[in-house]
C-alpha cells in the first residue's frame, strides 16, 4: 500500500458534504497508520455476516501463530514416496529375474521354444518407447486442461470412480503377490478357474477381490471424513506399485526422454500456465477448486499435524511413478548384470530421488507453502546422477542405446548375466 503526502477527505456536516484538503508539511514526521486486513474462508464470512445481521455481539481477535519450520506430515509423505519406489523396484527386479530363469529353462528344454515372450510368470508387461514417452506428456497435458475446464462436483465423482477401479486392481495385485509368498496360499494362487469375460483367474484372486471392492467402496462413500486420507493413500500406493511393476522403460534413452518431457510439463503447468490462465492450472486441478471437494483423488496426502492452519501435504502420482520407472530400471540392470550395491546404480538413483524430493519440500517451505513443481528438483537429481555415474563408469553407451532381455547364461554359471540386443 502506497502513501500520498496530499489527500482529500469528505465530511458531511448538516447533511452537506464538505471537501477538505489534507496536507503534510515537509518538516512534519510521517505518521504510521496500520490497518490490519485478513482473508477469511467463505464459510467463516457467512457466519460473521449472519451474526451481524442478527444484532449479535461479534468480536474478532487477530492472531498470527507461528508455523513449524518442518511439519511431521512432510516427513511421513517423503517416507511414503521413497518406500513405494523402493518396494516397487525390488518387485520389478524380482519378477525380471524369475522371468530370466523361466526363459533359460525354455531354452534348455526345447530349441523351438526359445522365442518365448519375455515376462513369463511376471504377467503382461508394457515397455515404453521414445515416441510413447513424448505422446504421454502431450496426452497428459490435454487431460489436465480438460480437468481444469470441466472441474465440477460431478466431474470429481467420475474421477473418484476411475480411481476406485484402478485402486481395486492395484490392491488386488499387491495382495495376491504378497499372500502367494506364504506356503498356505501358494496353492490357491497357482490354481485357476475360468471366469466369463475375464478368462483364467486364480482362486486366490477370487478370494481377495471382494475385499478390495468393499475397501474401495467404503472409502468412496466416506471420503469426506477426517481420516479418509488413510484409505486414499492405501489405494494410491497399491496402484503406483502395480503400475511400476507392469510399465517399464527398456533403456536410459527412453527414461531420459520421459523425464525430460515431464520436467518441462511440470514447470509449465505449475508456473508458466499462470500467464495464460491467470492461475496455476496444476494447483487448481490438484486442489479441486470449484468442485466442492478437497481435491482430486490421484495423489497421496497426509494432514499437517502441527500446522495451526491445517491443510494437507500432498504429492501427485506422477512425481512418484515417472522417476520410479527409471529407478526400477536401475535395479533390474544391476541384478541382471550381477552388480553389487556398491558397483551398481540403484543405490545412487534411489538416493538421488530422495534428495530431490527433500529439496522440493525445502523449497516449498521457503516459498511459504506455495505449490512447487516437484519434478523441477527430482529430475535433475535422479537423471543427472544416473547419467553422470554411467559416463564415469563407461556404461553409458550400454545403458543408453541397448535394452535388457531377461536371460540366464549357461548352466555352468549360476549367476544371472545380461543378454543385450539392439532396441527396435
pLDDT, one tens digit per residue, over 151-184 is 888 888 889 999 999 999 999 999 999 998 888 8
> Within 13 A of 309's CA, how many CA atoms are on the CB side?
15
Q: How far is it, in rounded angstroms, from Cα 178 to Cα 185?
A: 10
Q: For residue 15, what pLDDT is reported?
A: 58
Q: Which residue has the cell 495464460?
A: 276
Residue 172 located in a structural domain:
no
For 331-364, the pLDDT digits (tens) are 999 988 888 888 899 999 999 999 999 999 888 8
Percentage of the residues of the chain whose pLDDT score is greater than 70? 79
Residue 256 located in a structural domain:
yes
Q: For residue 29, what pLDDT is reported?
A: 59
Per-residue pLDDT band at 330 (split at 50, 70, 90): very high
Q: For residue 114, what pLDDT is reported?
A: 39
Q: For residue 120, what pLDDT is reported?
A: 42
Q: Is the pLDDT of residue 27 over 70?
A: no
Kindly compute the dihedral angle of the four CA atoms of residues 240, 243, 248, 254, in this order, to the nearest 10 degrees. -70
Residue 290 located in a structural domain:
yes
Residue 160 located in a structural domain:
no
Q: Is the pLDDT of residue 281 over 60?
A: yes
Residue environment code for 171-207, b if the CB has 16+ CB neighbours within 10 A, otherwise e: bbbbbbbebbeeeebeebbeeeeeeeeeeeebebbee
For 76-130, the pLDDT digits (tens) are 999 999 999 999 999 988 888 777 777 667 766 654 443 443 444 445 788 899 9
For 225-253, the pLDDT digits (tens) are 888 999 999 999 999 999 999 999 999 99
Q: Is the pLDDT of residue 406 over 50?
A: no
Q: Is the pLDDT of residue 259 over 60?
A: yes
Q: Is the pLDDT of residue 402 over 90?
A: no
The C-alpha cell at 353 is 530421488
Contact 107, 405 (CB under 8 A): no
- Is the model's pTM score more than 0.75? yes
**137 vs 26, which has greater pLDDT?**
137
Q: For residue 216, what pLDDT is reported?
A: 96
Residue 315 located in a structural domain:
yes
Number of domains in the chain: 1
Residue 102 located in a structural domain:
yes
Q: For residue 349, what pLDDT is reported?
A: 95
Q: Which residue has the cell 496444476?
A: 282
Residue 21 located in a structural domain:
no
Residue environment code for 116-136, b if the CB has 16+ CB neighbours within 10 A, otherwise e: eebbbebeebeebebeebeeb
**Residues classed as catalytic:** 266, 319
Residue 144 located in a structural domain:
yes
**407 vs 12, which has greater pLDDT?**
12
Average pLDDT of the segment spanning 286-306: 80
Q: Which of 38-42, 153-157, 316-320, 405-409 has the highest mean pLDDT?
A: 316-320
**404 vs 105, which has greater pLDDT?**
105
- Residue range(s) defining the domain that contains residue 143: 72-152+245-422
The C-alpha cell at 416 is 544371472
Q: How far is it, in rounded angstroms, from Cα 217 to Cα 219?
A: 5
Percentage of the residues of the chain whose pLDDT score is greater than 90? 38
Amino acid at each position: 500500500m502506497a502513501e500520498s503526502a496530499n489527500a482529500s477527505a469528505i465530511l458531511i456536516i448538516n447533511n452537506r458534504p464538505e471537501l477538505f484538503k489534507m496536507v503534510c508539511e515537509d518538516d512534519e514526521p510521517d505518521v504510521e497508520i496500520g490497518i490490519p486486513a485478513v482473508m477469511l474462508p467463505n464459510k467463516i464470512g457467512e457466519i460473521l455476516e449472519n451474526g451481524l445481521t442478527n444484532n449479535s455481539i461479534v468480536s474478532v481477535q487477530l492472531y498470527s501463530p507461528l508455523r513449524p519450520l518442518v511439519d511431521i506430515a512432510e516427513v511421513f509423505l517423503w517416507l511414503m514416496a521413497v518406500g513405494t519406489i523402493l518396494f516397487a523396484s525390488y518387485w520389478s527386479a524380482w519378477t525380471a529375474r524369475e522371468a530370466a530363469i523361466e526363459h533359460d529353462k525354455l531354452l534348455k528344454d526345447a530349441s523351438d521354444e526359445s522365442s518365448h515372450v519375455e515376462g513369463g510368470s511376471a504377467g503382461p508387461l508394457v515397455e515404453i518407447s521414445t515416441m510413447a514417452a513424448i505422446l504421454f506428456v502431450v496426452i497428459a497435458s490435454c487431460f489436465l486442461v480438460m480437468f481444469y475446464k470441466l472441474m465440477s462436483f460431478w466431474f470429481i465423482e467420475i474421477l473418484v470412480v476411475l480411481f476406485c477401479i484402478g485402486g481395486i486392481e492395484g490392491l488386488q495385485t499387491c495382495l495376491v503377490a504378497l499372500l502367494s509368498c506364504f506356503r498356505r496360499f501358494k496353492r490357491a494362487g497357482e490354481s485357476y478357474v475360468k471366469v466369463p469375460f475375464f478368462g483364467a483367474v486364480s482362486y486366490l484372486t477370487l478370494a481377495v477381490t471382494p475385499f478390495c471392492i468393499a475397501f474401495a467402496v467404503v472409502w468412496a462413500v466416506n471420503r469426506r471424513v477426517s481420516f479418509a486420507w488413510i484409505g486414499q493413500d492405501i489405494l494410491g500406493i497399491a496402484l503406483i506399485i502395480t503400475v511400476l511393476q507392469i510399465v517399464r522403460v527398456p533403456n536410459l534413452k527412453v527414461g531420459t526422454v520421459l523425464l525430460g518431457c515431464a520436467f518441462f510439463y511440470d514447470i509449465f503447468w505449475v508456473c508458466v500456465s499462470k500467464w495464460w490462465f491467470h492461475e496455476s492450472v496444476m494447483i487448481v486441478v490438484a486442489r479441486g477448486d470449484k468442485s466442492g471437494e478437497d481435491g482430486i483423488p490421484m495423489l497421496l496426502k497426509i494432514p499437517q499435524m502441527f500446522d495451526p492452519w491445517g491443510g494437507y501435504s500432498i504429492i501427485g502420482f506422477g512425481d512418484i511413478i515417472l522417476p520410479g520407472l527409471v529407478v526400477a530400471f536401475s535395479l533390474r540392470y544391476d541384478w541382471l548384470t550381477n552388480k553389487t550395491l556398491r558397483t551398481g546404480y540403484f543405490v545412487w538413483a534411489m538416493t538421488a530421488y530422495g534428495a530431490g524430493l527433500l529439496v522440493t519440500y525445502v523449497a516449498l517451505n521457503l516459498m511459504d507453502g506455495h505449490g512447487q513443481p516437484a519434478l523441477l528438483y527430482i529430475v535433475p537429481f535422479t537423471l543427472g546422477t544416473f547419467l553422470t555415474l554411467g559416463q564415469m563408469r563407461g556404461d553409458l553407451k550400454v545403458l543408453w542405446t541397448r535394452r535388457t532381455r531377461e536371460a540366464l547364461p549357461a548352466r555352468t554359471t549360476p549367476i544371472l548375466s545380461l543378454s543385450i540386443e539392439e532396441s527396435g
